[in-house]
């Protein structure tokens, strides 16, 4: 009898624990899931030595190039872009006053936006540009199909820096936030 009582008590306890530790599963949780990955990437790199800058003469352009930028040309990607930051890092070890201009162009070649950077001699600086909430319009990034980069010498064409390897370096990178669900 004692054995039967223990068996019944054990079975009842087991059923009680099974019933008390489970709850009804909600398989519709995917509807509440929000995935917002951040994609980071280098965009472009440009370097020019002081000799090249001097060779074009004073007050002239020593670099000009249009590069393809179709990062957001797929409609699926463009519709889900929430915000972005493009960071420009410029290092000038020459003794030249320079300027770099970056133009954002759409498919028809129409100007969407311009970033101009006056660059002092022997300087280094970083400039982040925000797109989306609190920054420039996200439509600039979505509609950009190419970038035109121009670098100008605003100084003379004869002076030479005393630095070991004087040059201008432009690095850029972007971080973009997407909403996938």
pTM, full prediction: 0.78
Rounded to 5°, angle at Cα 170 from 168 and 172: 170
Domain ranges of the chain: 34-178
Q: What is the pLDDT of residue 23?
A: 64
The domain defined by 34-178 folds into Immunoglobulin-like (2.60.40)
pLDDT tens per residue, range 18-47? 666 556 666 666 566 566 778 888 899 999
Q: Which of 143, 136, 162, 175 is nearest to 38 (CA)?
A: 175
More confident residue, 110 or 178: 110
pLDDT tens per residue, range 98-134? 999 999 999 999 999 999 999 999 999 999 999 999 8
């Amino acid at each position: 009898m004692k054995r039967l009582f223990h068996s019944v008590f054990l079975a009842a306890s087991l059923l009680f624990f099974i019933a008390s530790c489970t709850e009804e599963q909600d398989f519709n949780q995917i509807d509440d899931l929000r995935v917002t990955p951040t994609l980071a990437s280098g965009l472009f790199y440009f370097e020019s030595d002081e000799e090249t800058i001097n060779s074009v003469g004073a007050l002239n352009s020593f670099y000009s190039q249009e590069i393809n930028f179709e990062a957001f040309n797929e409609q699926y990607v463009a519709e889900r872009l929430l915000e972005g930051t493009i960071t420009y890092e410029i290092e000038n070890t020459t003794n030249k006053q320079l300027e770099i201009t970056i133009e954002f162009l759409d498919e028809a070649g129409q100007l969407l936006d311009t970033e101009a950077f006056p660059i002092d001699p022997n300087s280094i600086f970083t400039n982040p540009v925000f797109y989306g909430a609190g920054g420039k319009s996200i439509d600039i990034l979505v509609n950009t199909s190419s970038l035109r980069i121009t670098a100008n010498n605003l100084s003379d064409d004869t002076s030479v820096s005393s630095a070991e390897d004087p040059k201008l370096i432009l690095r850029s990178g972007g971080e973009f936030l997407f909403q996938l669900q």
